[in-house]
Amino acid sequence: MSDNRLTQTEPSLNPATADMINIKINGLDVQVPKNENLIESAKRVGVDVPYFCYHPRLSKGDAANCRMCLVEVGMPGPDGTIRMMPKPQAACTMPAAEGMVVQTDTPKIVKDRKGVLEFLLINHPLDCPICDRGGECPLQNNTLFYGPPTSRYIEEKRHYPKAYPISEHVVFDRERCIHCARCTRFTEDISGDAQLGFLKRGADMEVNTFADTEYRSKFSGNVIELCPVGALLSKSYRFKARPWDLHSQKSVCSKCSNGCNIKIDYRQDKIQRINARINEDVNEEWTCDRGKFGHDYVSSDNRLKTPMLKQNGEWMPISWTQAYALLAEKLKAAGSNSAGIGGAHLTNEDNFQFQKLFRKTLGSSNLDSRTDRVHGSETTLLSDRFGYHGMGNSIAQLQSFKSYLIVGSALADELPIIFLRVRKAYRFHGASVVSAISKKDSSSPNVGDFATVEMIYRPGTEIALLNGILNILFNENLLPSNPGVDLKGLQQSVSDWTPAKVEQETGVPAAHISEAAHILAAGTMALIAGKEIREHPHYETVVAALGNLMLATGNPENLNIPERVVNAQGAKDMGILPDLEPGYAPVAQLGKNAHEILESAAKGELQALWIAGEQILNTYHDKSLVRQALDQCPFVIVSELTMTETALLADLVLPAASFAEKDGTFTSCERRIQKIEKVFEISRDIKADWLIFSELAAMIDGSPIPFSAADIFTEIAAAITEYAGISYKSLGDGGVRWRSESSSTNTKIFTAIYTPPAKN
């Protein structure tokens, strides 16, 4: 290795292909895929080619503009002798060819690199002492290793307004920009909002948004990491720390169920910033803004630091000893007449102990982690019928279909990383996207930006729309000839859903429905259903109709109804369900679901209700029922980070640890189990939820208290077949998926009777 620079030298991303060729780099023989760019080839032999504009995940369209990557290249002539090209070549765009000879450190190249850097530094302000990038800056590093020691430039540098905000999160210091086009290509290639562009030319060239407007993107934070200089900066991290003063801990984002791999950079028990950690199977190297900038709650001043008891309407701090005594007394008295709601924000370990406390210690199965909807059993939905939970595909697979149907989902908001995969399929693999949603999403970016057809249907008419699509598929013979399923009944049932009738019912123009049907039948297709479907009053019927479409088109494995909250999938795996124990084993005695729990609490029938890390007042659709329930239930416990609106309605509030203060695992929407690790401790009196549940159980019935989250995980792996064979250690940095292959053996068409939405 020629050096150990901080930001650039990574292993090559390109897999070996069938078409490998032989080249020589600095005298070393190496086999590389044909046409691979020489920067990647050089990585294979540990030769460092410096660069700025090149990025393996961005298109090369506007690139090859920094000229930092110059190398000398020669090709064998007919007589076998090597003829060097007269000019140096840009390694980032030079494709490898058989017999090619590459020199990266000849005197000529050394001189050229010095020249390139001298030019780049002409207009660069070199204000490293006050630059956030200082210490981890590719421009500093490349100058250190390859640059000239001095500059001959004595004229005035170009000046621009110093750092000013261009978005909610990003500050722009235009003077520092070296015009590498990484940020502009990111907004065009990856996030798709195409908001940053180059204006003007020559020395006046500048990165800007259209007409100086705000840079509005759900992915704006990524450009901060991409920028090879300190031109794009984080508003929240600005001037907070020097990079060498930060500690860094690997973790997983807690803001949605995609489970982005992140690094928490912290100092003085405070999260200073969050950067993406590469996981090719999940987030590649991106994060969304909610994940990158949304974790300030961890170090918020409002964090609860001791248990709080409400007495005569007044909150008083109490000690844990008092809290436990009270809890033990009340819960023991309540016994099976107690209930627990929440868990989607807790770790698997928290949840496992949560359900143990209720099921084993208190003898109650009134548990539910699903608060954004009220539905029947999990097993009757996807898993029984298709053999998988939530998602048929992995996140990574979702970049490789020919067509997509996105139903009822503001995907970029709900599941940003899945959005990026779909966008990648569109941008780099020519996929076509059909979006169907009841309310047009006009935030930036969104699926409608690049969907071939966008169908805006009247809320509640999803089944009519799906029937309409099926009708066209049948009538125009667009379905695969051998679906392996008997489709006669289905054909019959959709036969009177003519495009005209569907247009009338749904409000979607018949021509759009037909275009959509043609796109969806054109090859492998994946369906992603979102919030509108999950919160649908006729959820199960709609899912059945979606399933029918997938069966008919020959794509039964590609139905995806991902969970949205960070560990909603894990909470269900851990049996925070009224009817299923950990691992989806049926319970002996059926408990109440979230809705029933709230109803019985509202009637005053429930003696104790524990709400674990769930702001149910905001998440549950019927707020007055929640208020009534929390009001009528004689003993409401909320374990939370801060005094939320929900917590204010409780009787006892327990200070719980955030994801940065505890160990554990989350299971993402694609069933990937990933580790989070304790980063720091804010207060001795803040406890991980699993510890609270375990200590309490120990007080009530003497159950043993596990030593660590890892211990609980071992117990989980022993208890749940799906987690068997997975150990805390084997999760590694990138996590492990449980049941990664979907095993759909379903050949049954479901009945999906359409109930028109109520007219108002």
Partner 1 sequence: MSSSEISGVREPQPDPLKEYRFSEDAIAEMEEIATHYPERKAACLPTLWIAQREYGGYLTPPAIQEVADRLGLSFSEVEGVATFYTMYNLRKRGRHHLEVCTCLTCAVLGAYDIVHKLEHELGIHLGGTTSDGEFTLSEAECLDFCGAATVMQVGDKYFTQLTENNVMELIDQLRGSPDYTPAKLADAIVKIHVPLSSQTGGGSSKPEDLLLPAGPML
**Among positions 53, 229, 692, 726, the unique one binding ligand FES when judged by CB under 6 A:** 53
Q: Work out how close the CB of 23 gets to ligand SF4 at its nearest, in angstroms, rounded to a whole number.
A: 29
Query: At 339, phi and psi to the nearest 5?
Result: -150, 155
With CB under 6 A as the contact rule, which of the stretches 108-116, 225-233, 379-387, 400-408 interacts with ligand SF4?
Answer: 225-233
214 binds, among partner 1, ligand SF4, ligand FES, none (CB under 5 to 8 A by kind): partner 1
CA angle in degrees (0–180, nearest 5) for 33-39-41: 30
Q: Is 92 in the site for ligand FES (CB under 6 A)?
A: yes
Closest residue by beta carbon to ligand SF4: 291
Q: Is 146 in the site for ligand FES (CB under 6 A)?
A: no
717 binds, among partner 1, ligand SF4, ligand FES, none (CB under 5 to 8 A by kind): none
* DSSP states along 302-323: TB--S-EEEETTEEEE--HHHH
Closest CA to 196 of 181, 175, 180: 181
Distance from C-alpha of 13 to C-alpha of 313, rounded to nearest angstrom: 60
Alpha-carbon distances, residue 299 vs 272, 274, 567, 603, 637 (angstroms): 10, 13, 21, 38, 23
- For ligand SF4, what does the binding mask look like between residues 602 and 641, x meaning CB under 6 A? ----------------------------------------
Tell me how many residues contact ligand FES (CB under 6 A).
Answer: 12
**Among positions 170, 227, 453, 577, the unique one binding ligand SF4 when judged by CB under 6 A:** 227
**Among positions 256, 422, 521, 568, the unique one binding ligand SF4 when judged by CB under 6 A:** 256
64 binds, among ligand SF4, partner 1, ligand FES, none (CB under 5 to 8 A by kind): ligand FES
Strand partners, 684: none
Q: Work out how close the CB of 60 gets to ligand FES at its nearest, in angstroms, rounded to a whole number.
A: 9
Distance from C-alpha of 132 to C-alpha of 342, rounded to nearest angstrom: 40
**By the 8 A CB rule, do 230 and 203 touch?**
no
**Among positions 23, 25, 64, 616, the unique one binding ligand FES when judged by CB under 6 A:** 64
**How would you class 635 by CB atoms within 10 Å of its CB: exposed for 0-12, middle for 13-18, buried for 19 or more?**
buried
Q: Is 417 in the site for ligand SF4 (CB under 6 A)?
A: yes
Closest CA to 283 of 296, 273, 295, 274: 274
Q: Which is nearer to ligand SF4, 37 or 123 (CB)?
A: 123
Q: Tell which positions 408-427 bind ligand FES, by CB under 6 A.
A: none
Collapsing DSSP to helix, strand or coil, 409 comes out as coil
**How would you class 336 by CB atoms within 10 Å of its CB: exposed for 0-12, middle for 13-18, buried for 19 or more?**
middle
**Among positions 67, 185, 424, 531, the unique one binding ligand FES when judged by CB under 6 A:** 67
Q: Tell which positions 147-186 bind partner 1, by CB under 8 A.
A: 159-161, 164-167, 184
Q: Which is nearer to ligand FES, 44 or 345 (CB)?
A: 44
Q: Is 447 in the site for ligand SF4 (CB under 6 A)?
A: no
255 binds, among ligand SF4, ligand FES, partner 1, none (CB under 5 to 8 A by kind): ligand SF4
Q: Is 170 in the site for ligand SF4 (CB under 6 A)?
A: no
Q: Is 123 in the site for partner 1 (CB under 8 A)?
A: no
Q: Is 258 in the site for ligand SF4 (CB under 6 A)?
A: yes
Distance from C-alpha of 140 to C-alpha of 229, rounded to nearest angstrom: 8
Q: Work out how close the CB of 105 gets to ligand FES at its nearest, in angstroms, rounded to a whole number.
A: 16
**Among positions 118, 214, 269, 685, the unique one binding partner 1 when judged by CB under 8 A:** 214
Please, what is the end-to-end C-alpha distance for the chain in angstroms? 70
Distance from C-alpha of 593 to C-alpha of 371, rounded to nearest angstrom: 9
Distance from C-alpha of 562 to C-alpha of 556, rounded to nearest angstrom: 15
**And the tokens for 232?**
């794009």
Q: How many residues are listed for the chain in this entry?
A: 760
Q: Is 131 in the site for ligand SF4 (CB under 6 A)?
A: no
Tell me how many residues contact partner 1 (CB under 8 A).
Answer: 29
164 binds, among ligand FES, ligand SF4, partner 1, none (CB under 5 to 8 A by kind): partner 1
HEC profile for 59-71? CCCCCCCCCCCEE
68 binds, among partner 1, ligand FES, ligand SF4, none (CB under 5 to 8 A by kind): ligand FES
Distance of CA 573 to the CA centre of its chain: 19
Q: Is 217 in the site for ligand SF4 (CB under 6 A)?
A: no
CA angle in degrees (0–180, nearest 5) for 394-563-423: 50
**Among positions 33, 50, 147, 291, the unique one binding ligand SF4 when judged by CB under 6 A:** 291
Strand 314-317 relative to strand 308-311: parallel, antiparallel, unpaired? Answer: antiparallel
Q: Which is nearer to ligand SF4, 177 or 334 (CB)?
A: 177
Strands (E), 8-163: 20-25, 28-33, 70-76, 82-84, 89-90, 101-103
Query: At 527, phi and psi to the nearest 5?
Result: -115, 135
Q: Tell which positions 182-211 bind partner 1, by CB under 8 A.
A: 184, 187-188, 193-201, 204, 206, 208-211
Closest CA to 20 of 628, 693, 12: 12
Q: Is 259 in the site for ligand SF4 (CB under 6 A)?
A: yes
**By the 8 A CB rule, do 257 and 569 touch?**
yes
Residues near partner 1 (CB under 8 A) are 159-161, 164-167, 184, 187-188, 193-201, 204, 206, 208-215
Residues near ligand SF4 (CB under 6 A) are 177-183, 207, 226-229, 231-232, 253, 255-256, 258-260, 283, 287-288, 290-291, 416-417
